[in-house]
Chain A
């Protein structure tokens, strides 16, 4: 297998890993996929405003700090089974850097077993190869869904 194809497969696996760790609420494993200086942003565009809105922008450290500082209520609110369905449609490797772009749908399943689609959008990711593994330099979540039925500071 060529190195390029190996990288492509690995990046594909990593995008799915981000989703799986969030589904499993393994935030530590999720954050470890980021570089130290990595960043996470949620943006969305509404027809009423000329510029896209930023709904969250945090460095990896800030994200980690925010999760640790979540209130009891915030944990209870976010207590819902999550399932992300991700489709990676672009992997561009350029030496030690790479971009991936994926569409995602996030489903919520409540305690009664009822499932609904919570949000859809795209993950636009920049990766950097550090020693032997790829790490996220930035994830930009572009939300198409703007009416969210549950509000939370947790990454989408």
Chain B
């Protein structure tokens, strides 16, 4: 007789409390996620400090599209599809820089655009004399951009609600510490390709149960009695935040983080805020981290990690933040490596079908409750129309 819970048999649990693992592998689900989530929600693309001056630009990827972000001479950040109105060539080809003379010139037939995306020049215009092609009516295709606390978000959906409504007051309030009090600056940025579905990595920041995986969290967090009072708060639209907690770095012989804290943070404090679908914000007292994801296929995800300090840090304080950042995060830190490894180990069994179901059934007052994951999947289901516990169930029309 098969065991009742063996990763192959449908768990005897409420439908909200388990997952059909094909949500991680099915190409049709991935396409639906692209259309109804990745291209329809507000997505973090960079921090304002990465395009600080007039005419500074950045290329970013959203739902498979390449966008160019430009800070105009008026200080406003704008976003456009990086695709020439003439015949679709990539207009901007460098990852980052400053527009020369405030212009973007397409290399192919030399059409040019200004910092607001307006076409400023069509070469040999006489050839279009008898057509409707005029530079006055030509532009790069704009994309909605909103900035909150220096965090730049774009949304490919012209009909989506504004960013403030998408986040909601409670989430914005949670983000204020440490992002909304003083000017921050990105000092670290790296990408890593994870051989796993994007949601698996998101989940590592949406649940506290796997803190048992991390030597750091086991020793400096979970081991303390008071840590058990830490709670997840589930917000609207799948966003969550994880209460402030005090971390005992000394338990691992790490430096305490009691001086030069990020604005609003308590000594040795830790907060987590996750914005649906894939922006993960962490602050460990002296340093902040922002992760965002670029899902490439059902089984491959590009993770982008940033480390942030204060814009006016002295060299000594910045060096301390970099050190604290690298202790836990970054390519040589303890936690990121473990998370990446963990989700890749999961993915293998989901891909080959050995693992059909996952359990997200924990209910407890405390950090290891799974309600945050259930909150994520409720929103995921609302937008995609899929039932995450059963891919064979009839798909409703998603609202994304």
User: Could you say which of A42, A72, A73 contacts B332, with CB atoms under 8 Å apart?
Assistant: A42
Residues of B within 8 A of A149 (CB): 192-193
In the complex, chain B residues 265-320 whose Cβ is within 8 Å of any chain A Cβ: none
The tally of residues in A whose CB lies under 8 Å from a CB in B reads 28
**In the bound complex, how far is the Cα of B51 from the Cα of A42, in angstroms?**
25
User: Is there an interface contact between A54 and B337, defined as CB atoms closer than 8 Å?
Assistant: no
Set of chain B residues within 8 Å of A72, measured between Cβ atoms: 215
- Check: B188 CB closer than 8 A to any chain A CB: yes
B351 interface contact, C-beta 8 A: no
Tell which of A46, A51, A56, A151 touches B340, judged by Cβ atoms closer than 8 Å: A151
Residue B213 lies at the interface, judged by CB distance under 8 Å to chain A: yes
Tell me whether A96 is interfacial, beta carbon within 8 Å.
Answer: no
Contact A56 B326, beta carbon cutoff 8 Å: yes
| B96 adjacent to chain A (CB < 8 Å) | yes
Contact between A47 and B96, CB atoms less than 8 A apart:
yes
Q: List the B side residues contacting A152 at CB < 8 Å.
A: 332, 337
Interface majority SS (helix, strand, loop, mixed), chain B:
mixed
Contact indicator B58/A48 (Cβ below 8 Å): yes
Are the CB atoms of A48 and B50 closer together than 8 Å? yes
Docked pose: A54 CA to B323 CA in angstroms: 9
List residues 222-272 of chain B with CB under 8 A from any CB of chain A: 252-253
- Give, as a whole number of angstroms, the nearest-CB distance from B302 to chain A: 8
**Nearest A residue (CB) for B219:** A71
Q: Is B96's CB under 8 angstroms from A153's CB?
A: no
Does A71 lie within 8 Å of B334, measured CB to CB? Answer: yes
Q: Is the CB of A151 within 8 A of B50?
A: no
Contact, CB under 8 Å: A49 / B186: yes
Query: Does B373 sit within 8 A of A, measured CB to CB?
Result: no
Interface string of B176-200 (1 = CB under 8 A from A): 0000000000111111110000000
Q: List the A side residues contacting B189 at CB < 8 Å.
A: 46, 48-49, 53
A51 to B188, CA, bound (A): 9
Tell me the smallest distance from the CB of B68 to a CB of chain A, in Å.
Answer: 13
A56, closest chain B residue (CB): B332
A77 within 8 A of B: yes
B interface residues, tally (CB under 8 Å) = 34
Complex Cα distance A51/B97, Å? 13
**Docked complex Cα distance between A37 and B346 (Å):** 42
Give chain A nearest CB distance to B152 CB in angstroms: 13
A72 to B219, CA, bound (A): 14
Are B190 and A74 in contact, CB atoms less than 8 angstroms apart?
A: no
Kindly identify, within residues 55 to 98 of chain A, every residue whose CB is under 8 Å from any CB belonging to chain B.
55-57, 65, 69, 71-74, 76-77
Query: Do B323 and A71 touch (CB < 8 A)?
Result: no
- Contact indicator B332/A74 (Cβ below 8 Å): no
With CB as the reference atom, state the residue of chain A lying closest to B339: A151
For residue B94, CB closer than 8 A to chain A, the reply is yes
Does A13 reach chain B (CB closer than 8 Å)?
no
Residues of A near B333 (CB, < 8 A) are 151, 153
Minimum CB–CB distance for A32 against chain B, Å? 22
Interface: B165 (CB within 8 A): no
Interchain CB contact (< 8 A) of A54 among B216, B252, B322, B334: B322
Does A131 sit at the interface, judged by CB under 8 A? no
Question: How far is B333's CA from A153's CA once the two chains are assembled, in angstroms?
Answer: 6
Q: 4 nearest interchain CB pairs?
A: A151-B337, A71-B215, A56-B332, A47-B95
Apart from A49-B186, A54-B322, A56-B332: 20 A-B pairs, beta carbons within 8 A = A44-B190, A46-B189, A47-B95, A49-B188, A53-B188, A55-B326, A55-B331, A57-B322, A57-B323, A71-B215, A73-B213, A73-B215, A73-B341, A74-B215, A74-B338, A76-B341, A77-B337, A146-B190, A151-B192, A151-B333
Question: What would be 7 A-B contacts, judged by CB atoms less than 8 Å apart?
Answer: A44-B190, A46-B189, A46-B190, A49-B186, A71-B216, A151-B336, A151-B337
